[in-house]
Amino acid sequence: MAQVELQNISFIYGAGEPYEIRALDNISLTIGGSTVTGIMGHTGSGKSTLVQLLNGLLKPTEGKVILDGKDIWEDPKKIRDVRFKVGLVMQYPEYQLFDETVRDDIAFGPRNMGMSPDEVNARVLEAAQFAGLKEALLDKSPFDLSGGQKRRAALAGVIAMRPELLVLDEPAAGLDPGGREEILNSIREYQKISGTSVIIVSHSMEDMALYCDRVIVMEAGRVFMDGTCAEVFSRYDELISVGLDVPQITYVASELKKYGLDIGRDVYTVKYATAKILEKVRGDNA
């Protein structure tokens, strides 16, 4: 199981200049394992910087990024290998599509890895299937796809590298509720089948609540909270205090307490809330 360990990481934009910005401030974390980890925080909290450190797009100002027991910056010339192991799907990834066919575009990563045409082909088919792209679409131009299909093609382009760790920055941004659900379900499904560690960066508490096992909350360049969904959302008052939203259902649960109906602090999905309420009422009546 792939794990990335961040040791005392700090990152400063424009270090040494008068306008330097400390985006990350002495962070130590271990991410990975067979889970879906959510990273959240508002714009400027450092979460995007964190993500780009994981695959070596950025080099930490201080501290070490350890992957498979090795410092990824030990040999800067080999940083490309790190990017094959830690696959990053950037925000609005459909804008990076460039090749003549969807097939070629998905093959870009595997070809860069130096695979044989047969291997590349196998990877493309596998990735397309995971991303929920029909084979008939593979020979189309990526620019003829619908918005949602383009997003899937871009996702497949990263999955095709079979990364040990898959990092997605706002994978559902701009999609409608149906589209959000579909893409997040495919990611969840992919995680289960392949065993890859998945990291999702998102603003959406509702999505986090539904799809993540572990949630890391960033605030002002530091880790503000780190735990299971239940642990994190039960501290909703603290989340609100740093300007983050919590799922509406969490508010409802907290309001219910005023009526003597205590269903606990760790309510973050409607399904769970419904079950808890019914259990409580039936228990009382029994």
Q: Which residues here bind another protein, judged by CB under 8 A?
A: 42-43, 52, 55, 57, 80, 83-84, 87-90, 93, 95-99, 108-109, 112-113, 143, 146-148, 157-158, 161, 173-179, 203-204, 206, 243, 245, 247-249, 251-252, 254-256, 258-261, 270-271, 273-274, 277-278, 281
Strand order in the sheet with 70-71: 21-32, 3-13, 62-67, 70-71
Q: Which is nearer to another protein, 69 or 177 (CB)?
A: 177
Q: Which is nearer to another protein, 147 or 195 (CB)?
A: 147
CB of 42 to another protein, least distance (A): 6
CB 166 within 8 A of CB 85: no
Q: Which is nearer to another protein, 71 or 255 (CB)?
A: 255
Place of tokens 């590298």: 161
CB of 34 to another protein, least distance (A): 22
Please give the structure tokens belonging to residue 203.
């603003």
CB of 270 to another protein, least distance (A): 5
Q: Phi, psi at residue 262, to the nearest 5°?
A: -95, 105
CB of 142 to another protein, least distance (A): 10
Residue 284, CA distances (Å) to 235, 265, 266, 279, 281 in order: 27, 19, 20, 8, 5
CB of 82 to another protein, least distance (A): 10
Q: Which ranges in the chain belong to alpha helices (H)? A: 47-54, 79-85, 102-112, 117-130, 147-159, 177-194, 205-211, 229-233, 236-241, 248-256, 270-285
Bridge partner list, 12: 22
Q: Which is nearer to another protein, 26 or 79 (CB)?
A: 79
CB 217 within 8 A of CB 225: yes
CB of 223 to another protein, least distance (A): 20
Please give the structure tokens belonging to residue 127.
């990735």
CB of 108 to another protein, least distance (A): 5
Q: Which is nearer to another protein, 47 or 214 (CB)?
A: 47
Sequence-distant (6+) residues with CB within 8 A of 182 are: 132, 148
Q: Which is nearer to another protein, 8 or 145 (CB)?
A: 145
| CA gap 199, 180 in Å, rounded | 16
Q: Which is nearer to another protein, 192 or 250 (CB)?
A: 250
